[in-house]
C-alpha cells in the first residue's frame, strides 16, 4: 500500500528528467555549472562555409562588436571590420584553410594556419597567406574577437651573418 503512495513522486521525478533541454548540468560545491558543448572545429568550418557562400550576414553575426582585424600591419576596429566583411565576402570563393595550431580553453579558442582562396572576378587568380582567428566566450556566447589576415609576401633575402 505504501508503494502506491510513492507512484506520484516517481512520476514527478521521471517527468522532470524528461524535460531536460540537452545541456548537461554539473553540481560543483553547491553551484550548478552548465557544460559548454561549443565545438571550435565546427565553428571554424561554418565560418569557412559562410565565406564560400558569400554570406556577410552570418559572418557579421559570428564576429564580436569589438572585434579587431589585423591586416597589412594595421589594426582595424568596429566599422572597419564590418566594412571589410561586407566587401570581401562578395568576391571570395573556394576558401581553404590548413590549421597549423589550434587550442580551446574555457573562454577562448584560436586557430592559426595558412589559407588560399579564389575570387569571383577571375577564375585564375589565387590568393594565399596566413590567418589567425581568436574566438572568445562572453555571456555564454562565442564570437570572433580577433582576425589576423596576412597575405603571402616574398621576403627580401637576408644577408649571410657569417660574411659580415
All structural domains of the chain with their residue ranges: 37-151
What sign does the dihedral 86-91-96-99 (CA atoms) show? negative
For the cut 60, the answer to whether the pLDDT of residue 42 exceeds it is yes
> What's the half-sphere exposure (Cβ side, CA atoms, 13 Å) at 145?
12
According to DSSP, residue 162 is labeled G
Question: Pairing state of beta strands 74-77 and 63-71?
Answer: antiparallel
Q: Which of these CATH numbers, 3.30.70.1290, 3.10.450.50, 3.20.20.300, 3.40.50.300, describes 37-151?
A: 3.10.450.50
Q: What mean pLDDT comes out for the span 135-154?
A: 93
Q: What mean pLDDT comes out for the span 108-137?
A: 93
Predicted confidence band of residue 47 (pLDDT cuts 50, 70, 90): very high
Q: Say how far residue 18 (Cα) sits from the centre of its chain.
A: 32
Q: What mean pLDDT comes out for the span 67-71?
A: 96
Amino acid at each position: 500500500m505504501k508503494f502506491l503512495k510513492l507512484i506520484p513522486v516517481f512520476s514527478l521525478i521521471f517527468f522532470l528528467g524528461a524535460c531536460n533541454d540537452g545541456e548537461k548540468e554539473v553540481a560543483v560545491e553547491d553551484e550548478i555549472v552548465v557544460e559548454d558543448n561549443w565545438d571550435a572545429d565546427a565553428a571554424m568550418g561554418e565560418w569557412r562555409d559562410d565565406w564560400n557562400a558569400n554570406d556577410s550576414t552570418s559572418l557579421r553575426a559570428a564576429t564580436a562588436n569589438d572585434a579587431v582585424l589585423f591586416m597589412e600591419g594595421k589594426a582595424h576596429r568596429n566599422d572597419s571590420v564590418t566594412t571589410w566583411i561586407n566587401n570581401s565576402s562578395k568576391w571570395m570563393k573556394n576558401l581553404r584553410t590548413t590549421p597549423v595550431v589550434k587550442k580551446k580553453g574555457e573562454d577562448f579558442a584560436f586557430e592559426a594556419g595558412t589559407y588560399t582562396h579564389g575570387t569571383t572576378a577571375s577564375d585564375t587568380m589565387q590568393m594565399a597567406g596566413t590567418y589567425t582567428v581568436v574566438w572568445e566566450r562572453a555571456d555564454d556566447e562565442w564570437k570572433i574577437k580577433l582576425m589576423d589576415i596576412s597575405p603571402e609576401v616574398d621576403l627580401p633575402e637576408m644577408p649571410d651573418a657569417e660574411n659580415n
